[in-house]
Amino acid sequence: MEYDNTNRGSIWKNLKRETDKHPHLTGTINVEGAEYWVSAWAKDKDANPKAPELTFSIKLKDVQSTPAEPFKAKVEDDDMPW
């Protein structure tokens, strides 16, 4: 039986964090069947006590472009075999 991850997500510690601009945590989330990347930044220890514990950024994994028009070959009357 396959596990249904719809409307669920997970984040882990970002082991590649090199600067303060890089997120503390990264992961994925599924919202209504669409997959998103999640980045999260933890509150600094010197931050305002009223600041949120985590802030998030969410980006669609596969940005779908609008469907292309079906290919329509240009056919000249002279090209028809009949």
Gap between the Cα atoms of 74 and 35, Å rounded: 38
More confident residue, 30 or 3: 30
Give the residues across from 27 on adjacent strands: 11, 38
pLDDT of residue 3: 83
pLDDT of residue 58: 94
More confident residue, 20 or 2: 20
Whole-structure pTM value: 0.67
pLDDT of residue 70: 44
**pLDDT tens digits along 35-67:** 999 999 999 989 999 999 999 999 999 865 444
